[in-house]
Amino acid sequence: MFLIRHGQSEFNVVYSVTRVDPGIVDPALTAEGVRQAESAAVALVQMRERGEGEVRRLICSPYTRALQTATIIADILQVDVTIDPIVRERAAFHCDVGASPADLAKRWPRYRFDHLDDPWWHDHVGTGEAESEDALAARGAAFREAMRQHPDYPAIAVVTHWGFIRCLTGRPPANGEIVRLPLSP
């Protein structure tokens, strides 16, 4: 299985310099983020050509930055995308507030969002309480177990976020980075 961190977002540009939440809700990719998504897709094509694994399906977080990244990759690889909020970011900043399923469906009519709750994200704004590391770990463990049971897990790529990849692998990924996730015990 492959984990792919979304491309650079408007939030990432500001936060990487200031380390202060700029208050951007559900940010979009920057031009650099689009380039990173295209590069990730090309890298996946090259991996397939070298016999290092083939992606036949994408699972994607419902955040705009992930959806934009997944759409670029899916168009290049010619694969389907399944939206799954279990692979969302660890809610800690304004960028981790998502868009409603109805809004997402208008912007991405080719994908299904009707299975999402509203809100589908951890609603932390105004409460001062981010999703706990324990809750993130439980979510990551549930995802890992579900993927272990999936017969096609080696051919699945997941477009997700820094916190979720860190939870599953123990290391922080760069924007657009592809990380292999072995699912064996």
Assign 160 to helix, strand or coil. strand
List the strands of the sheet with 57-60, edge to edge: 80-83, 57-60, 156-160, 2-5, 178-180
Which amino acid is present at 10? E
Q: What is the pLDDT of residue 122?
A: 83
Residues of the chain falling short of pLDDT 70? 124-128, 184-185
Q: What is the pLDDT of residue 115?
A: 97
Q: What is the pLDDT of residue 176?
A: 97
pTM, rounded to two decimals:
0.95
Q: Where are the domains of the chain?
A: 2-16+23-180
Q: What is the pLDDT of residue 101?
A: 98
pLDDT tens per residue, range 98-109? 999 999 999 999
Q: What is the pLDDT of residue 34?
A: 98
Q: What is the pLDDT of residue 55?
A: 96
Question: Top-level CATH class of 2-16+23-180?
Answer: alpha beta
Q: What is the pLDDT of residue 112?
A: 97
Q: What is the pLDDT of residue 185?
A: 52
